[in-house]
Chains A and B, each alone.
Chain A
Amino acid sequence: MLAKPVDEETRERGADELRQTWKTPKGFRYWTAVNNSEIGKWYALSAFFFMMCAGVLGLLIRVQLAVPGNDFLSADRFNQFFTMHGSAMMFLFAVPMFEAISILLLPGLLGARDMPFPRLSAYGFWCFIIGGIFVMGSILFGVAPNSGWFMYPPLATEAEGIGSDIWLLGLSFIEVASIAAAVELIVGVLKCRPPGMRINLMPLYAWYVLVVGGMILFAFPPLIAGDFLFELQRSFDWPFFDPERGGDPMLWQHLFWIFGHPEVYIIFLPSIAIAAMVVPTAAQRPIVGYSWIVLSAVGTGFLSFGLWVHHMFTTGLPSMSLGFFSAASEAVVIPTGIQLFAFVATLMVGRVKMNLPMLFISGALAIFTAGGLTGVMVALAPFDWQAHDTYFIVAHLHYTLFGGMVFPLMAGIYYFFPIFTKKTLSERTGRVVFWLMFVGFNVTFMPMHFTGLMGMPRRVYTYPSVLGWDLLNLISSVGAFIVAAGFVLFAVDLLRPRGKQPYAPRNPWKAGTLEWSHYVPEENWGSRSVPYITSRYPLWEQEGIVERMDEGRYYLPDAPELKRETLVTTVLDARPIQCLRVTGPTWITILAAVFTGGAFIFPTFHWYPPAIVCGGAAIACVIYWLWTATSQIPEKDKDMRDAGLSLRLPVYASGPASVGWWGVWITMLGDATAFASLVFGFVFYWTAKPDFPPTGTEHALVGYLMLGVAALVASWGSIYGARVVNRQGKVATARALLVAAPLLAIVGSGLFYLSVANAGLEPASHVYPAIIWAVMIWTIVHTGGGVIMQCYCLAGALFGKVTPEHDSDLWNVTLYWHFVCLTVVVAGLTIGLMPRVM
């Protein structure tokens, strides 16, 4: 059947339909686009812009430090600059850049038309750009955060001005975008692979995306929980980190670094994933040790969560505790080393072409190895006690980040540029860029090892001449300008107009993976037809696959209903199970992001009423977006789609077969992690403080609490029951349960609130009542969201959006309520039972 040619007319018709369906809006409507190719480009360029801003800050820092006793920057401005340099590089460049590149590449790698939730990507991007401009812009007004990128209390909680609030609220807002992207990418990898691409054939890049997506889900939520507590302290004076009222600044350090260390690997792994794509192409052979690389990605993912305290070796924790983290820090070297060895082995057995991307990868390996070796040194607590907070650490972290992130990323940009723009970057300029960066980098950061060992501390805005640091600092500053020259040259080459430049060849590096079946000149349909995959390097090993894709001889070669579609397959063996209709251009995501932005940004200035209005409007936008565009019941007789090659697939899916269900499940895993972090806080106070709970204190009222928990569990039972009986066709009973569920939830939430509010617990007086209030608020916000969702299902049932056959909304909301139920029970036990037995 595959060999049968498609006649000219059918082929043209299919291509026209696809072109029409997937066309990018023109004029001012261009900004309503949600295509992965557009969103990815905007995302990447914005992240690049923020990187350049943060780079300028770094350069100004180096100017200030070039000579002793310099007064180029004031101390306060210097503090703002190094805080923003770190924060922007991490939150506005490194993580978003990974998401941008993955959104750009993943559909191509998987032969998919688009990601499963295009509008979610768009929403994430708009949140990112609004939050990014807000946080970055603060520096122009001289009000930027100035307490270091880790915002340690009490410095950050006591800091005057709105700097700390800008950091907390602005970056929390951006973390929402990161989690949205993680959900999108995980579901994309698991469910949108082309038929036949079993999990053992998946491109390595996809493996890394899967691992990193999972890490984001467990790493970012602790920080969000920390931000929540921190902002409650800044706004309402609840003393979570104030030792005089029972709080403890160490809790922030724990929550921050439970995020902060995996973060390093969240940045490193996707970049090394780029290397895993470039290296086989340069060697012109499959990667050596595919299973070993998967092992190292997954192994690093796990072990990186056991390292956080190595940022806290000097805080006076028991030495036995330090030992655990020191040991885990050394253990993580094993999987990290394995992947580097696999690359080297691939290069050794292949016929290597030293192309420009490979040059950057070589630079990356050299620099990262040096950074890794100093990492092994500082992972040993006694050495760290000496080097902590000196320029030795600055040198170490820049070696790991440049070697582990910047250089592989540069390799990736040169390598994948023809896919993004259909043109190439200049090879000659690229080599100059490489040498400027490589030499400049080493000139800047190599001397810092010595300045650090000679005792120069980080974050000092100037130093006296007598200490012997002068020459080394001057060399570092000169080096910084060489790196900067490299970046400027790169930016010029990246952004210069390319109107007259001829198109790049379709597969210029002779790579073997599917993304190189892209179209030159550009077509927006992603993949002309979705191929059947039987190999890890289909372009090398499946003869004629690109020609067949082009001719529309595989799946979904047309779009007769002019609706955007992509294939959904099973997780392990990629059996096609659904033809998913994906969403198209819209303004609603921009509106939703603007209002979400308002809800986060207004509280910075303590303007709560407009923040609440914005929050409400954001919820309304999201409801409108979901109601009009997701889980649409297909038109009559169009519930099956002929996907080509005799494959007929349902258009609608619900439960675990649908991508929406996976999206909810993954989001809630992250949410549960944030809640677990709050409970960790509760237990932490108990271990760290002799007076927690304080003697003679009031407790949450058990009667109210038990009744509240019971009502909320009953509400969960009702929504679960509604899903079950609705499936059985008992529509009336289902509706009755759907009416009961939100009522029970409202009553339960009220009782839960009263159990704390009526108990005489004064949150500003001591950390014990404060954390009880925090757990209660967290729970009620979730049950409140649950009520809205239950009402959404009820409305769906009444207006024909939810029927016994089409019940995906009910499945998703029930899944949400499984997590709410768990949250409610754990919250009840935490604030009701635990303090009484402690």
Chain B
Amino acid sequence: MAKAGRDEERRTFAEEADSLWLITFAGSIWAVHFVLCYGATAAVCAKLGGDAAAIATLRLALGGFTLLALAGIALVAWRSWVQWDFLDDWDYEHDMAEKEDRHEFLGHASFLISIISFIGVIYVSLPVLVLETCQ
């Protein structure tokens, strides 16, 4: 039993290459969402600028995509929250020379970045919500 516990611990805090990438996921989702909003709007406004139906479709599509992006970021945030495991030991400093601290620190940083990205996506979506034409 003790051995199994140790093995699990070793697995959890192994030097997982993906956990450094984790801190870039939420920001990347923000970036993809941003580029898509900008690109789709630029294309629709340039090619079908006068067409009210096209703009309505665009706004609907971007609205849907925004929900998707928010869901993605929420997922990353959940993953990071689990990795941070705050409620386990109430640790938010992570300044010990232990694998567990490194593991939880990356979760913590990633969680915070998810929050910023979430706010960022909402901000960027506001124009889609309130503006009805390209002009």
Contacts and interface: CB of A to CB of B under 8 A. Distances in A.
Interface of A: 196, 198-201, 286, 290-292, 294-295, 298-299, 301-303, 305-306, 317-328, 330-331, 334-335, 533-536, 570-573, 575, 687-688
Interface in B64-122: 92-97, 99, 101-102, 105-106, 108-109, 112-113, 116-117, 119-120
Contacts of A575: 15
Contacts of B20: 199, 571-572
23 contacts: A196-B97, A200-B105, A295-B109, A295-B116, A298-B24, A299-B27, A299-B112, A299-B116, A302-B113, A303-B30, A306-B124, A318-B42, A318-B49, A324-B41, A326-B127, A327-B123, A328-B120, A330-B123, A534-B97, A535-B95, A571-B20, A573-B15, A573-B102
Contacts, number: 140
B45 A302 contact: no
A248 B106 CA distance: 44
Contact of B112 (A295, A324, A330): A295
Nearest to A288: B93
Contact of A688 (B46, B105, B135): B46
A746 B16 CA distance: 40
B2 interface: no
In the complex, the 6 A-B pairs of residues with the closest C-beta atoms, listed nearest first: A323-B127, A302-B27, A200-B105, A534-B97, A295-B112, A327-B123
B76 to A, nearest CB: 13
Contacts of B120: 302-303, 306, 328, 331
B47 interface: yes
A323 B126 contact: yes
A97 B23 CA distance: 28
A536 B101 CA distance: 12
A573 B99 CA distance: 7
A324 B124 CA distance: 5
B23 A298 contact: yes
Q: Which of B19, B27, B112 has the most CB of A within 10 A?
A: B112
Given A319-B134, A534-B97, 4 more contacts: A286-B95, A326-B127, A331-B124, A572-B17
Contacts of B17: 571-572
Contacts of B135: 318-319
A298 B109 contact: yes
A334 B116 contact: yes
Contacts of B134: 318-320
Contacts of B109: 291, 294-295, 298
B89 to A, nearest CB: 15
Contacts of A330: 123
B31 A305 contact: yes
Contact of B102 (A200, A290, A292, A302): A200
Given A318-B42, A321-B38, A575-B15, A198 B95 contact: no
Contact of B106 (A199, A321, A322): A199
A201 B94 CA distance: 8
Contacts of B95: 200-201, 286, 290, 535-536
Contact of B34 (A199, A318, A328): A328
B116 A535 contact: no
Contacts of A290: 93-95, 105
B131 interface: yes
Contacts of A334: 116, 119
Given A291-B112, A328-B120, A330-B123, A535 B27 contact: no
B46 A324 contact: no
Interface of B: 15-17, 19-20, 23-24, 27-28, 30-31, 34, 37-38, 41-43, 45-47, 49, 92-97, 99, 101-102, 105-106, 108-109, 112-113, 116-117, 119-120, 123-124, 126-128, 130-131, 133-135
A688 B130 CA distance: 25
Contacts of B30: 302-303, 306
Q: Which of A319, A325, A572 has the most CB of B within 10 A?
A: A572
Contact of B101 (A200, A292, A323, A533): A200
B51 to A, nearest CB: 13
A323 B134 CA distance: 11
A199 B92 CA distance: 15
Contacts of B127: 319-320, 322-324, 326-327
Given A200-B102, A299-B113, A328 B45 contact: no
Contacts of A298: 23-24, 27, 109, 113
Nearest to A575: B15
A323 B116 contact: no
Given A319-B134, A323-B126, A572 B93 contact: no
A212 to B, nearest CB: 15
Contacts of A200: 94-95, 101-102, 105-106
Nearest to B135: A319
A572 B107 CA distance: 13
B112 to A, nearest CB: 4
Given A295-B116, A324-B127, A533 B97 contact: yes
Q: Which of B31, B97, B134, B135 has the most CB of A within 10 A?
A: B97
Nearest to B127: A323
B99 A331 contact: no
Contacts of A322: 127
Nearest to B99: A573
Contacts of A324: 34, 37-38, 41, 124, 127
A303 B116 CA distance: 9
A100 B96 CA distance: 31
Nearest to A537: B95
A779 to B, nearest CB: 24
A320 to B, nearest CB: 5
A201 B116 CA distance: 23
A327 B124 contact: yes
A619 to B, nearest CB: 34
A667 to B, nearest CB: 19
Given A328-B34, A687-B42, A302 B117 contact: yes
Contacts of B106: 199-200
A153 B106 CA distance: 45
Contacts of A535: 95, 97
A689 to B, nearest CB: 9
A321 B112 CA distance: 27
